């Protein structure tokens, strides 16, 4: 038969009725106790005292010292109350509330309770015993107002502003209405002053918190600025190093190509100067023009100026370069372009021009080639430049400054460099770059 009670609990087959009841009481009690602990922590502040609180503590201590002075020098104002009894009562009204209001620990809920239980009880007793109002709780009302906030004021205002003037009016037989309102004003002013000081303290703490946060943010910003300055300095150094390397490669390609042509031409002049002076003179004029053009190329590299727009397309530019090299060095050089010619970006054109200059120079200077074949292939998505010579070749290719510069140029264009060389069979250099439409920057 089911047991009937005023409260019904969910049925649990594994537990008996009493066990089920205890289970649900514990389940409901846990969150309730947690809420109580959370509310209790809400009233506790763990922080150092502010200067306002130290000032109030000094006033509170002076008030206690004044009470002791009356007890020692004018004990008759307390009537026939024994000395030690009054001394213990005054000590209790001073010490017990300090357990809930001290540096590093402030309990805004228990401090008013302690003041009410000690100073309030002593004031009520003295008022009834002496039949005149005592002022024991007048100054503690200032501290209670200081520690009151929105959730405690519904209790502290009636208790410390209204209750004691009303009790005095009922306890003292000869108590005038004017005196009642005077005491009501006194308690209200002191309690209100405490509330105002509390607001001042809260505002000061908020401002201090904002100031601390701003100082922290300023420190972080300053650190970030230092990091950014260091980063900018590193980027500047890297940029300068890259630009220095780029100019070095530019000068190496231009100067190497020009002087190779001039040296080979001057070797030819040395043979013609006796047998054919007129041809030697013409050859010197050509070499002068080559030297002048090389100087202009060097100036362009120094001023970071790429080939001018009126130099024509890529195939025309490479063809003129091949003709100049063939004329000045006496090397047979052929050039062939296949595929539909396209307008490519200036940087792509400059990269292939420098690669061809370096390849021709290496073929003549290091490979001692007599014949060089240059081909340019236009495909849909890439350009292929191939330079093949009949020089001596090598089985151990040494990638010097010029070849590394070619690789860096092509890599910056997402291109590639392949070199095939065998001793006695010459060398093949293949440069590939993706096609970028004219005007785009890579």
Which of 158, 178, 202 is the last residue in one of the domains? 202
* Residue 212 pLDDT greater than 50, yes or no: yes
Asked if 261 and 328 count as a contact pair (C-beta separation under 8 A), the reply is yes
pLDDT given at position 432: 94
- In this prediction, residue 376 carries a pLDDT of 94
Q: What is the mean pLDDT of residues 329-351?
A: 86
Q: List alpha helices for 10-78, DSSP H.
A: 17-42, 51-73
**Is 283 inside a domain boundary?**
no
321 and 196 fall within a common domain: no
Tokens of 387: 């330079």
Residue 75 sits in the same domain as residue 194: yes
Does residue 165 carry a pLDDT above 80?
A: yes
Query: Would 365 be classed as within a structural domain?
Result: yes
pLDDT by residue (tens digit) across 115-161? 999 998 898 888 888 888 788 888 899 999 888 888 888 888 888 88
323 shares its domain with 194: no
pLDDT score at 159: 87
Shared domain check, 189 and 57: yes
Inside any domain, residue 286 = no
Range of the domain at 184: 44-202
Share of the chain above pLDDT 70, in %: 79
User: Looking at the predicted structure, is the pLDDT value of residue 404 above 90?
Assistant: no
- pLDDT greater at residue 367 or residue 261: 367
Does residue 109 fall inside a structural domain?
Answer: yes
The verdict on 195 and 328 lying in the same domain is: no
Give the confidence band of 436 by pLDDT, cuts at 50, 70, 90: low
**Is 270 within a domain?**
no
How many Å is the Cα radius of gyration of the chain?
51
Q: Which of 69-83, 223-237, 296-310 has the lowest mean pLDDT?
A: 296-310
User: pLDDT tens digits, residue range 30-50?
Assistant: 555 545 455 556 778 888 888
Structural domain ending residue among the three candidates 202, 220, 251:
202
CA–CA separation, 88 vs 77, rounded Å? 17
Distance CA 56, CA 62 (A): 10
CATH number at residue 438: 3.30.565.10
Is 274 a member of any domain? no
Report whether 189 contacts 167 (CB < 8 A).
Answer: no
229 part of a folded domain: no
The whole-number average pLDDT for the span 217-242 is 74
Number of domains making up the chain: 2
pLDDT tens for residues 253-263? 666 667 777 77
End-to-end Cα separation, the chain, in angstroms:
91
In a domain, 254, yes or no: no
The pLDDT value given to residue 5: 46
For residues 121 and 90, give the distance between their C-alpha atoms in angstroms, rounded to a whole number: 11
- Cα dihedral angle (16, 22, 28, 32), rounded to 10 degrees? 180
pLDDT at 175: 64
Picking from 182, 202, 222, the residue at the C-terminal end of a domain is 202
């Amino acid at each position: 038969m089911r047991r009937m009670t005023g409260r019904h609990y969910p049925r649990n087959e594994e537990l008996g009725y009493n066990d089920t009841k205890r289970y649900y009481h514990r389940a409901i009690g846990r969150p309730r106790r947690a809420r109580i602990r959370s509310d209790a922590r809400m009233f506790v502040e763990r922080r150092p005292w502010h200067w306002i609180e130290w000032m109030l503590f000094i006033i509170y201590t002076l008030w206690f010292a004044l009470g002791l002075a009356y007890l020692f020098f004018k004990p008759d104002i307390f009537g026939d109350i024994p000395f030690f009894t009054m001394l213990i009562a005054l000590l209790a009204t001073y010490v017990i509330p300090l357990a809930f209001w001290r540096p590093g620990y402030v309990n805004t809920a228990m401090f008013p309770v302690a003041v009410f239980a000690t100073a309030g009880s002593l004031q009520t007793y003295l008022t009834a015993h002496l039949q005149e109002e005592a002022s024991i709780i007048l100054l503690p009302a200032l501290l209670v107002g200081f520690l009151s906030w929105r959730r405690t004021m519904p209790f502290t205002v009636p208790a410390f502003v209204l209750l004691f003037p009303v009790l005095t009016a009922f306890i003292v037989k000869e108590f005038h209405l004017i005196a009642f309102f005077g005491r009501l004003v006194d308690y209200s002013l002191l309690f209100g002053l405490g509330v105002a000081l509390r607001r001042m303290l809260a505002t000061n703490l908020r401002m201090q918190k904002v100031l601390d946060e701003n100082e922290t943010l300023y420190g972080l910003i300053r650190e970030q600025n230092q990091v950014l300055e260091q980063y900018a300095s590193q980027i500047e150094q890297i940029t300068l190093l890259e630009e220095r390397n780029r100019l070095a490669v530019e000068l190496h390609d231009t100067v190497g190509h020009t002087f190779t042509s001039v040296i080979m031409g001057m070797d030819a002049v040395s043979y013609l100067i006796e047998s054919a002076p007129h041809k030697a003179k013409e050859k010197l004029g050509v070499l002068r023009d080559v030297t002048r053009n090389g100087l202009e190329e060097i100036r362009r590299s120094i001023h970071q100026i790429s080939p001018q727009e009126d130099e024509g397309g890529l195939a025309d530019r490479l063809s003129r370069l091949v003709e100049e090299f063939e004329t000045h060095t006496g090397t047979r050089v052929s050039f062939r372009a296949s595929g539909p010619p396209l307008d490519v970006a200036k940087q792509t054109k400059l990269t292939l021009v420098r690669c061809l200059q370096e390849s021709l120079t290496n073929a003549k200077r290091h490979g001692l080639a007599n014949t060089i074949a240059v081909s340019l292939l236009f495909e849909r998505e890439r350009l292929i430049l191939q330079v093949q010579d009949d020089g001596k070749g090598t089985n151990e290719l040494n990638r010097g400054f010029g070849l590394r510069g070619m690789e860096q140029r092509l890599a910056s264009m997402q291109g590639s460099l392949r070199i095939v060389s065998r001793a006695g069979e010459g060398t093949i250099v293949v440069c590939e770059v993706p096609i970028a439409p004219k005007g785009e920057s890579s």
